C-alpha cells in the first residue's frame, strides 16, 4: 500500500513591486497560490497584500506589497516554489520558512 506523502507546514513571504495595478497584483498572488497547489501543496491561509515602505532601496523600489501565504506541502515543494518566484518579473524578494507543526 502506498503511503501519502508527508506534508509539512510552511510560510512564504513575498514582496511584490509597488508599481503594478490591483488586477496584476491579484494575478501574481493567484499564480503563487496555483504553483503551490500544482506542486502538491494546499493553502491554509493567504493574507491580504499590505503596501509597506522599505528602509532602503531594493532593486530600485522604495516600497512594495507584502503577501504572506501559509501552506502544507511535501518537502520538495519549497525548492520548486523558489524557482518559480525567482523568475517572476514582479517579485522583488521572497522567503520560505518551515513552520513548527502543532501536535
Whether the Cβ atoms of residue 88 and residue 39 lie closer than 8 Å to each other: no
What pTM was computed for the model?
0.88
What are the angstrom distances between the C-alpha of 37 and each of 29, 32, 97?
Answer: 12, 9, 17
Any residues with CB less than 8 A from the CB of 83 and at least 6 apart, and which? none
pLDDT in tens, 22-75: 999 999 999 999 999 999 999 999 999 999 999 999 999 999 999 999 999 999
Sketch the domain layout of the chain as residue ranges.
Answer: 8-98
Overall fold of domain 8-98 = Alpha-Beta Plaits (3.30.70)
Q: What is the largest CA-CA distance in the chain?
A: 54
Please give the pLDDT value at position 64: 96
Amino acid at each position: 500500500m502506498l503511503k501519502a506523502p508527508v506534508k509539512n507546514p510552511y510560510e512564504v513571504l513575498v514582496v511584490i513591486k509597488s508599481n503594478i495595478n490591483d488586477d496584476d497584483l491579484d494575478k501574481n498572488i493567484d499564480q503563487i497560490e496555483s504553483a503551490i497547489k500544482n506542486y502538491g501543496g494546499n493553502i491554509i491561509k493567504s493574507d491580504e497584500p499590505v503596501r509597506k515602505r522599505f528602509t532602503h532601496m531594493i532593486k530600485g523600489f522604495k516600497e512594495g506589497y507584502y503577501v504572506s501565504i501559509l501552506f502544507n506541502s511535501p518537502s520538495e515543494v519549497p525548492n520548486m516554489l523558489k524557482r518559480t518566484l525567482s523568475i517572476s518579473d514582479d517579485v522583488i524578494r521572497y522567503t520560505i520558512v518551515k513552520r513548527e507543526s502543532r501536535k
